[in-house]
A and B are shown apart, each in its own frame.
Chain A
């Protein structure tokens, strides 16, 4: 049973990460559409923010692995 709960927990964490990174991607697209000259700066910042959010989601995955 703990194995299944661990898998469910990991899945929930990925939902959060997916929503967060999707929002960042969306705002990055809007910003690039508004000002195409700044697109490389926006892209770099988007990747950095995505990496930080993934860090938080991976916290949850590590906890799920330990709990199993």
Chain B
């Protein structure tokens, strides 16, 4: 386990020098306008329809244009490259809003040229985060399917190869998280979900830290829609596996006098929803805050407009990246631990 971690660490350190050339080219066209760190950082942290690689010094941008898939009731499904919508063009009646409440979203343009703000098209596009997720799913599948196959071949014996790297982690999730909280008898049903959540969050956190080449460096777990779905999965599993005692504790907690129940029941229901909500916000904010800190430290170079700031800034960035690596593991662990706690509360047998 230590060997694998040091390889990962050195890979991350090796990737760092490559961030500078790409970022410097990005900064040059801003010589005419003031460099705005706010929009720069938000553009790198948020999701987008194209994968921006660099901006050449004549203002042209080199990017991978991802497909846009929109569905509007009367127009049907439209699939086209986001290059048609780049730089405020309009294509087939669709346009990306530049300002206002709907900034960044794809809207319908009515035949007379005005923008229809009421019914927005359904946007199923393959955006940056989706590509990042597909890639991390592929990596995860490759690792774990080969793991399963190697176990099938050799049976339960001493671990070798990638088994020796992953087996301690899987056993850790089972013996230190699942069994103490859910119990020996029932933990096996929930192990697949807990392991999937743990490794999905871990893989996506780590991939968000690696800036280069394109499938890495997508901010997946820092996207609140992704963490919302993860928290929703935990919520659904908790609700559907709640036994009688769980529902009794919510609607008629033992020891509560009957006249307090009208207050206790809404409070318990709010508690039921607020716990997964906290899971969602915790993961999203931790990962996004880390990315914003690293991006701001790199922005320092452009704000001061001198190359002498670069060594100091890079040292800080290396330190923050190590901290981010710790946070990546920690947040995966905390998400899994809290999900296990909620599931354990739901299936707990009464004394």
Residues of A whose CB lies within 8 Å of any CB of B are: 47-48, 51-52, 54-55, 58-59, 61-62
Contacts and interface: CB of A to CB of B under 8 A. Distances in A.
Interface of B: 278, 281-282, 284-286, 289, 330-331, 333-334, 337
Given A54-B282, A59-B285, 16 more contacts: A47-B330, A48-B333, A48-B337, A51-B334, A52-B334, A55-B278, A55-B282, A55-B285, A55-B334, A58-B285, A58-B286, A58-B289, A59-B278, A61-B285, A62-B281, A62-B285
Contacts of B285: 55, 58-59, 61-62
A53 B63 CA distance: 39
A55 B289 CA distance: 11
Contacts, number: 30
Contacts of A58: 281-282, 285-286, 289
Contact of B281 (A47, A51, A59): A59
Contacts of B337: 48
B337 to A, nearest CB: 7
A62 B281 CA distance: 8
Given A48-B337, A62-B281, A55 B286 contact: yes
Contacts of B334: 48, 51-52, 55
A16 to B, nearest CB: 15
A61 B330 contact: no
Given A58-B286, A59-B285, A61-B289, A51 B331 contact: yes
Closest 9 CB pairs of A and B: A58-B285, A55-B282, A51-B334, A62-B285, A51-B330, A59-B281, A62-B281, A61-B285, A58-B286
